[in-house]
Amino acid sequence: MRVAILGGSFNPVHVGHLFLADGVLSGLGYDRIVLIPAFQSPFKIGASGASPRDRLDMLAASIAGDPRLTIDDCEIRREGVSYTIDTIAGIRTRYGLKGKPGLILGDDLAPAFSRWRKADEIARQADIIIARRLFNPPNQGDSAPSGEGLPKGKDPDFPFPYTGLNNEVINVSSRLVREKILQGENWRYLVPAGARFIIEDRNLYRTGNKDKAEDSKASPGITWETAVLLENASREALSLSRFLHSRNTALLAWDLCVKYRLDPLAGYLAGMTHDICKPMDNGELLRLARKDGGTITRLEQEKPALLHGRAAAVLLEKKYGITNSEILEAVRYHVAASRDMGALAKVVYIADKIEVSRDWVNPALRDLSGTADLDRLFETVLEHTVACLRDQRKEVSRETLRLLAALDTRKRHEKKN
């Protein structure tokens, strides 16, 4: 196996790092790239910076599903100043390499390489690969094909044998990403998705800028990493049209949560997963729904499809470890509604009924979602949904009828006073 080493601070890892690694794999015939984040003194990290653990986690989340890439934390475990010569010796021994590993250097680092500790020894122990790191705008660089290994050679500025990698350069650096985050500019697609979610979840690299959603209430323990895991689970479980309905529900729930000052991520997650059990057969729905301890009504017994909300809440809790009671309640009650619904459950109920792909929705209902308070919007959508059921001569569940009766009583009471 031919292995090459790519070191750096990875603070954070960005698409340029992985694009370069891919270029060495495909252009020079290596089998695996070992990404080695450098140790960084914990004393140098500001409150908004990334710890070594954050940097490792971002790397790990960014390379999932690519067996050609791996991470070695030897320099972080060693702490202090890391010398490349020690790293190379460790990699050769631990990976049982027969030949020399490749060592990828950016051309920005090459001029100072002679001053590295035991530079000549490094050049004997590793095959040095010099890659382009500095951005050449179109028409100003040379026109050789990308990823092509140039012949080994010597350069007056680099007095060691090396292989030049004529790679395309993506004009991105970790510093650029950090600055953009700090300034509240667009940075999200400069880093791999896994790193993006960790930056968002841990609020890395920002000291003052606030997203619109940060004004809303955030629930502890709900992260983008979880939301993405469940979004993929929904995508796998559902047909494309049902998945798109779920995503639209999640997006509207997000918007409504921002409007009503609830946790948008909780709304997104509940919206994304509310129908995850819809494709299940009757037996599976009954088996799952029974686990919530509630009784199965006659109507649910006759039409187990009505249990897909209760079953999804059980699945989220038991299979995916979601313990947030508001999310579980929102998913559980999205079918028949309930007198026990909290604000998030109302939001998800509304979003499910009026999201953009439901083309039979009365436009007045959508208009109302821009102006009304949450309770008024919920009651209007509920009444509209029940009226539709009655039009279609479908039976309305007992819980929905109880909720309607309770709302009626409240309205009469309010009128009196």
Residues that bind Fe ion (CB under 5 A): 275, 352
Cα 30 to Cα 3, 55, 144, 154, 231, distances in angstroms:
6, 25, 21, 22, 34
- Smaller CB separation from Fe ion, 275 or 300: 275
- Smaller CB separation from Fe ion, 57 or 326: 326
Expressed in angstroms, the distance from the first to the final Cα of the chain is 82
Phi and psi for 252 in degrees, rounded to 5?
A: -70, -40
- Smaller CB separation from Fe ion, 87 or 234: 234
Alpha helix ranges (H) inside 260-397? 264-273, 282-290, 298-302, 308-318, 325-332, 343-354, 363-369, 374-391
Q: How many CA atoms lie within 13 A of 46 on its CB side?
A: 10
E-only strand ranges, 98-256: 102-106, 127-131, 148-149, 153-155, 158-166
Identify the H or E element spanning 6.
strand 3-8
d(CA 125, CA 341): 66
Least spacing, CB of residue 335 vs Fe ion, in Å: 6
- Residue 304: burial class (beta carbons within 10 Å; 0-12, 13-18, 19+): buried
C-alpha angle 409/414/417, rounded to 5°? Answer: 130
Least spacing, CB of residue 108 vs Fe ion, in Å: 52
Least spacing, CB of residue 58 vs Fe ion, in Å: 34
b/e 193-215 (16+ beta carbons within 10 angstroms → b): ebbbbbbbbbebbbeeeeeeeee
Look-up of token digits 């010569």: 85
Least spacing, CB of residue 371 vs Fe ion, in Å: 24
Least spacing, CB of residue 312 vs Fe ion, in Å: 8
Cα 372 to Cα 255, 364, 375, 400, distances in angstroms:
14, 11, 8, 22
Least spacing, CB of residue 353 vs Fe ion, in Å: 8
- Smaller CB separation from Fe ion, 17 or 332: 332
d(CA 205, CA 73): 22
- Smaller CB separation from Fe ion, 231 or 352: 352
Least spacing, CB of residue 326 vs Fe ion, in Å: 18
- Smaller CB separation from Fe ion, 110 or 280: 280
Least spacing, CB of residue 402 vs Fe ion, in Å: 20
- Smaller CB separation from Fe ion, 127 or 275: 275
- Smaller CB separation from Fe ion, 202 or 358: 358
- Smaller CB separation from Fe ion, 24 or 270: 270
Q: 116: which DSSP letter? A: S
- Smaller CB separation from Fe ion, 178 or 247: 247
What's the full length of the chain, in residues?
A: 417
Least spacing, CB of residue 200 vs Fe ion, in Å: 26
Phi and psi for 3 in degrees, rounded to 5?
A: -120, 140
Least spacing, CB of residue 246 vs Fe ion, in Å: 7
Tokens standing for residue 281: 């057969």
Question: Do 103 and 126 meet the contact criterion of CB atoms below 8 Å apart?
Answer: yes
Cα 107 to Cα 96, 151, 167, 233, 362, distances in angstroms:
29, 16, 11, 43, 61
Amino acid at site 122: I
- Smaller CB separation from Fe ion, 197 or 333: 333
Least spacing, CB of residue 356 vs Fe ion, in Å: 13
